[in-house]
A and B are shown apart, each in its own frame.
Chain A
Amino acid sequence: MRESGNGETVYHAKQGPEGSLLTIEDFSLWYSGKQALFDVSMQVEKGFVTALIGPSGCGKSTLLRAINRMNDLIAGLRTRGRILLGDTDIYNPSVDVIALRKAMGMVFQKPNPFPMSIAANVIYPLRVDGVRDKSILRETVERALRQAALWDEVKDRLQDNALGLSGGQQQRLCIARAIAADPDVLLMDEPCSALDPVATGKIEDLIDDLRGRYTIIIVTHNMQQAARVSDNTAFMYLGALIECGETSTIFTNPKVKKTMEYVTGRFG
């Protein structure tokens, strides 16, 4: 139906000091027969922020959700190729999806706090992991909320229902939840799409803060944001990875014409 995956990816990503954490190898994905990803290959450097950009419907969310196997929920899904975390293929049948997801935090496009107290939301990943120790839990609540720049706003009402927070606060709460269990990888799908500039700024600061400690993959439609926060940027188009490289190069001097057109706003 659509011509894609023909062109090779132009690859000039910056190497991290600690090497790569995730390796995606010739990864393709079909939604009940309809191909959504075409032979995507890239490496995600440990401790780096990697931005995924591209026009709507190009497969950014699909790729992101493939990394923590969130797509497993979808009936009729098929994949080919490998995604390696360290050196285990996460699509290997012997891999425990739950353990995998515990190693990754995810922040969704729309805030999705659980209908429970703020504190209970933050410690949810620990709770399902079987952590019962009160002091650890209390400590985690404070640390995660501080990292998510939410602590000062909610420290007096930790037992209130999280659904009473504003949209931006809810999103930061979701970020706190995603980092509560100290994951290796943080996957963020347009985390700022529902936020005002101030909240967006806070979250960008947060990402900046987390750089080095976590490996972050962030999907964004906001070019400035990608340019500001990321180390490497991957540009996707129609399910294929067109160009993946150092952020400054992608935004100033991309090697592929399509990328140039996209980052300069000529289409998309």
Chain B
Amino acid sequence: MSANPKSAADEFDNRVGPPPRRSHAASPQETTEPVRAPEKGEEERPPLTPARKRPYAWDFRAAGEPFVWSMGGALVIGILMIIGFLIFVVYNGILTFYPEPLYVVKLKDNKQIAGEFFRAEVYKLEPEALKGLPENVRKEIADQKGFANRNLYRIGNFDLYNEDFRWTPTHDIVETSTPKDMFFVERVEWGPFIGRITKLDLNGQIIQGSDVNMATLDQAVAQATKRRARIRQIERSEMGEVNHHLEKGRLGLRKVALSRGEESPEYRSAKDEYEAKAEKWRARHEELAREAESIKERDGKYTITLAEVNGQEKQLKLSDIVRLYPANRLTVTEKLHIYLSRWWEFLSQEPREANTEGGVMPAIFGTFCMTALLALAVAPFGVVAALYLREYAKQGRVVSLVRICVNNLAGVPSIVYGIFGLGFFAYLVGGSIDQLFFPERLPSPTFGTGGLLWASLTLALLTVPVVIVATEEALAAVPQSMREGSLACGASKWQTIKHIVLPRAMPGIMTGLILAMARGAQEVAPLMLVGVVKIAPELPIDGIFPYLHLERSFMHLGFHIYDVGFQSRNSEAARPMVYVTTLLLIGMVLALNAASIVVRNRLKKKFLAGHF
């Protein structure tokens, strides 16, 4: 500007038309500069616009304030939605396990129902239903424009009533009470029983309901639980192991038959060996079965007789009881104790009753195994790909194209990955593996169907763009001066990458990796195709060689939510489980994200500390 020798007066002279609008941002000196007296030939100049006369006025549009507000507003709405969702899930999930009081509701028809109060609702009555009602109730309902209130009670006793929940119109209720002798009994089967204890039979020692004290009861239930656990251990683990050995022997024999033919001497000797071993294993099986039988027989002598609120009795084995408590007699400490023990059960036990009761330990375990395998697969793959793209490939059109493709891969619907995983990994790769290594098990597939390995690899494929993009960004952020410094020291490119670039980029890479794990952990759709099941008979890790069973199907928290929420017999009963499982899954993902932040900060401190 100063290069132009034109004087300021010239510039002033040449200005025709209204002077340009001034933004309020102009400094006061500029705006308050005295208006110069017009020089020659200035008559046609229009009068100064008012804009010049209010130098300090607030120009709403120029400040962009509406945009700031709308941007802030959008952010607030977004945050509120997320917080609202979290509060909703946390509130519902946290309260699920807290013991509720048991109400006994006396109805007009002299029947009683007993149960936990679940929720209340306003509903519209059918005209028919109205007809049968007494005058005053009808009037009341008419006042409410045909609406009435009703309560939902969780009444349990599914085996007696064929329903878990019952709606009760409030105008049918005569009286509600909370009697101290009502018990809430969680059973292994049939859901809860709600009622009173009439009799306890401890191997012939009969205690009448009114004399039962809590200490005896708890002790008896604890012992029964031990017996149940022992039976289970025998039937599941020990007999399972025997079966596993039998099956292994049979498959080994079949393998020999396939490779040598059934006439060969090898086959004959293998067969003799197998028979001898199988004999031993069968004997062991017998023995275990006998032991289980004897425990069961003894177990059958410990029973409890319960009566539901209208007096109908039901006898149970004590070992069928998971937990029982007198809901209306509990102190706060006892309630907390039950609350925590339910959480513990939830986290550490296997599911019961088609997943609607019990715990989610196998699902947690499956999610964990799958995520760990996913990380193992995706980390080297993604990092190496990004290293090649950023450090070695000649930057140009091809690399740009690859980069765009990688970014777009992240947007492919995940179910497509599931289909690919099933078709490619399970059927093609897995099928070939079966042909090559497990011919004796065919036609039942080993790797040729969905399983932990294929699910992990499918999700690794799904999340590899996240890792690649994060790693590339981290690599790009390593200052060129550091690479030059290393190269100038005589380091090769690979040494530079290994010693300087990768450590510097590590926080970014780790962040990307953990985000990929979080993404993978919450993915459900592709898993339904490649190995997740409703109930997995075995965990993917156990005590039988090779300990980690990559071919097994597994359970997953995300799928568990879907299954419990939408596939179960009684969605009302399953709802609390859905909340709790959601809470758990969100918690896991949050924990992963928090871990990524911690890792990043710690590595950052190490590698990027105080410049100057």
Which residues from chain A sit less than 8 Å from chain B, CB to CB? 68, 70, 73, 75, 98-99, 101-102, 104-106, 108, 110, 112-116, 124-125, 127-129, 161, 163-164, 166-167, 170, 174, 177-178, 181
Contact B500 A114 (CB under 8 A): yes
Chain A contacts for B500, CB-based, 8 A: 114-115
CA distance A170 to B609 in the complex (A): 13
Contact A167 B490 (CB under 8 A): no
Q: Which 3 A-B pairs have the closest CB atoms?
A: A102-B490, A106-B488, A128-B491
Contact B609 A161 (CB under 8 A): yes
Contact A101 B482 (CB under 8 A): no
Chain B contacts for A161, CB-based, 8 A: 606, 609
Among residues of A, the one whose C-beta sits closest to the C-beta of B394 is A75
Taking A75-B395, A163-B608 as contacts, is the C-beta distance between A115 and B490 under 8 angstroms? Answer: no
Contact A163 B611 (CB under 8 A): yes
Contact B504 A115 (CB under 8 A): yes
How many pairs of A and B residues are in contact by the CB < 8 Å rule? Answer: 82
Contact A112 B479 (CB under 8 A): yes
Q: A73-B483, A112-B485, A124-B489 are in contact. List 13 more A-B contacts (CB 8 A).
A: A73-B484, A73-B487, A104-B488, A110-B481, A115-B504, A125-B489, A128-B492, A163-B608, A163-B610, A163-B611, A166-B612, A170-B612, A181-B489
Would you give the shortest CB distance from B287 to chain A, in whole angstroms?
Answer: 61
B486 at the interface (CB under 8 A from A): yes
Contact B495 A128 (CB under 8 A): yes
CA distance A125 to B495 in the complex (A): 11
Q: CB < 8 Å: which of B481, B491, B499 contacts A112?
A: B481
Contact B485 A129 (CB under 8 A): no
Contact B490 A108 (CB under 8 A): no
B503 at the interface (CB under 8 A from A): yes
CA distance A101 to B485 in the complex (A): 11
CA distance A177 to B487 in the complex (A): 12
User: What are 27 contact pairs spanning A and B, CB under 8 A?
Assistant: A70-B487, A70-B488, A73-B484, A98-B491, A98-B492, A101-B488, A102-B489, A105-B488, A106-B485, A108-B488, A112-B482, A114-B482, A114-B485, A115-B503, A116-B503, A124-B486, A124-B491, A125-B489, A125-B490, A128-B486, A161-B609, A163-B609, A163-B610, A177-B485, A178-B488, A181-B489, A181-B490
Contact B504 A167 (CB under 8 A): no
Contact A177 B489 (CB under 8 A): yes
Would you give the shortest CB distance from B92 to chain A, in whole angstroms?
Answer: 47
CA distance A75 to B399 in the complex (A): 15
CA distance A178 to B486 in the complex (A): 10
Taking A161-B606, A163-B609, A164-B610 as contacts, is the C-beta distance between A128 and B489 under 8 angstroms? Answer: yes
CA distance A68 to B489 in the complex (A): 10
Among residues of A, the one whose C-beta sits closest to the C-beta of B483 is A73
CA distance A114 to B395 in the complex (A): 26
Chain A contacts for B482, CB-based, 8 A: 112, 114-115
Chain B contacts for A101, CB-based, 8 A: 487-490
CA distance A101 to B490 in the complex (A): 5
Among residues of A, the one whose C-beta sits closest to the C-beta of B484 is A70
Interface of B is mostly: helix
Chain A contacts for B489, CB-based, 8 A: 101-102, 105, 124-125, 128, 177-178, 181
Contact B479 A115 (CB under 8 A): no
Chain A contacts for B479, CB-based, 8 A: 112
Which residues from chain B sit less than 8 Å from chain A, CB to CB? 395, 479, 481-492, 495, 499-500, 503-504, 606-612
CA distance A112 to B486 in the complex (A): 9
Chain B contacts for A99, CB-based, 8 A: 490
CA distance A211 to B482 in the complex (A): 27
Would you give the shortest CB distance from B95 to chain A, in whole angstroms?
Answer: 49
Contact A129 B610 (CB under 8 A): no
Q: CB < 8 Å: which of A75, A104, A125, A167 contacts B612?
A: A167
CA distance A68 to B487 in the complex (A): 10
CA distance A178 to B484 in the complex (A): 12
Taking A108-B484, A112-B479, A115-B504 as contacts, is the C-beta distance between A128 and B490 under 8 angstroms? Answer: yes
CA distance A68 to B491 in the complex (A): 13
Contact B484 A129 (CB under 8 A): no
Contact A129 B490 (CB under 8 A): yes
Chain B contacts for A112, CB-based, 8 A: 479, 481-482, 484-485
Among residues of A, the one whose C-beta sits closest to the C-beta of B608 is A115
CA distance A129 to B488 in the complex (A): 12
Chain A contacts for B611, CB-based, 8 A: 163
Taking A115-B504, A128-B499 as contacts, is the C-beta distance between A174 and B490 under 8 angstroms? Answer: no
CA distance A160 to B538 in the complex (A): 51
Among residues of A, the one whose C-beta sits closest to the C-beta of B607 is A115
Contact B609 A164 (CB under 8 A): yes
Would you give the shortest CB distance from A172 to chain B, in whole angstroms?
Answer: 14
Chain B contacts for A129, CB-based, 8 A: 490
Among residues of A, the one whose C-beta sits closest to the C-beta of B481 is A112
CA distance A127 to B609 in the complex (A): 23
CA distance A119 to B94 in the complex (A): 53
Chain B contacts for A113, CB-based, 8 A: 485
Chain B contacts for A116, CB-based, 8 A: 503
Would you give the shortest CB distance from A19 to chain B, in whole angstroms?
Answer: 25
Chain B contacts for A75, CB-based, 8 A: 395
Would you give the shortest CB distance from B498 to chain A, in whole angstroms?
Answer: 9
CA distance A125 to B485 in the complex (A): 10
CA distance A59 to B503 in the complex (A): 33
Among residues of A, the one whose C-beta sits closest to the C-beta of B496 is A128
CA distance A166 to B611 in the complex (A): 8
CA distance A247 to B610 in the complex (A): 39
Among residues of B, the one whose C-beta sits closest to the C-beta of A115 is B607
Would you give the shortest CB distance from A130 to chain B, in whole angstroms?
Answer: 10
CA distance A166 to B612 in the complex (A): 5
CA distance A45 to B565 in the complex (A): 83
Q: CB < 8 Å: which of B490, B504, B607, B612 contacts A98?
A: B490
Chain B contacts for A166, CB-based, 8 A: 612
Most chain B CB within 10 A, of A105, A106, A178, A181, is at A106
Chain A contacts for B490, CB-based, 8 A: 98-99, 101-102, 125, 128-129, 181
Chain B contacts for A178, CB-based, 8 A: 488-489
Would you give the shortest CB distance from A67 to chain B, in whole angstroms?
Answer: 11
Chain A contacts for B395, CB-based, 8 A: 75
Chain B contacts for A163, CB-based, 8 A: 608-611
Would you give the shortest CB distance from B122 to chain A, in whole angstroms?
Answer: 66
Most chain A CB within 10 A, of B487, B488, B606, is at B488
Among residues of A, the one whose C-beta sits closest to the C-beta of B611 is A163
Among residues of B, the one whose C-beta sits closest to the C-beta of A68 is B488
Would you give the shortest CB distance from B323 to chain A, in whole angstroms?
Answer: 55
